[in-house]
Amino acid sequence: MKHLSLIVFMLCTGFVRAQLLSPEMLDTCRVFHNLEEALKSPAQVYRLDLSKQKLKDFPGGILSLTNLNELKLSRNKIDSIPPSISSLAYLQRLDLQRNALDTIAPEILKLKNLQQLNLAENFITTIPDDIENLAELRQLILWSNPIEYYPNSLGMLEKLEILDLLHNLMNIRTQDRLRNILPKCTILMSPPCNCGMQDE
């Protein structure tokens, strides 16, 4: 236990330039809440939380944080994600809840180490067919979105444990299909509607 604590201390204070952290190590690292402060020692920043800062655009300075494992930008007004987000190769957790996004940007699908993706309370209408590229994904949070298309490729996410689709209009046929293609995943859904919105 003492050995693990020493490793965590070294990681989070910059003595070791490790990249992809275990969940236990990541949870112990400092969370930065100010981008300017984070940019003073970019290699030592593993967690950044810029929630509730009235951001209208994705802050470009984030891309300098090459060791970033966790990024929270929830409750802002961001309406697009830059292609360069794919340069954050070690990102495991991405929280974009309650913004102004209407698509799941293709660049997000290039984040090969992503395990948690939160896009709840946006304006997303379609889950892209190549969602399966997020092979490490464990949690996909999409509640309160006007989603009309759920691809069968969701079933290719073999490590997915939680799929949160609460408060999304969905007919019984679509709900049954999702349960069939993700039998080992916990899927959270509201009662089905008598609608035919889903493109199957």
Token pair listed for 62: 């984030």
Residue type, 96: L
**Mean of pLDDT over the chain:** 92
pLDDT digits 0-9 by tens, 183-199:
999 999 999 998 876 55
- Rounded Cα distance between 120 and 2, Å, is 38
Q: 74-108: b or e for each residue (b if 16 or more CB lie within 10 Å)?
A: bbbebeebeeebbbbebbbbbbbbbbebebbbebb
- Rounded Cα distance between 3 and 152, Å, is 45
Over residues 7-25, the mean pLDDT reads: 66
pLDDT digits 0-9 by tens, 143-193:
999 999 999 999 999 999 999 999 999 999 999 999 999 999 999 999 999
pLDDT digits 0-9 by tens, 118-129:
999 999 999 999
CA-derived radius of gyration, the chain: 18
pLDDT level of residue 200 (50, 70, 90 thresholds): low
Any idea which residue has 């961001």 for tokens? Answer: 78
The pLDDT, as a whole number, for residue 95 is 98
pTM of the model: 0.90
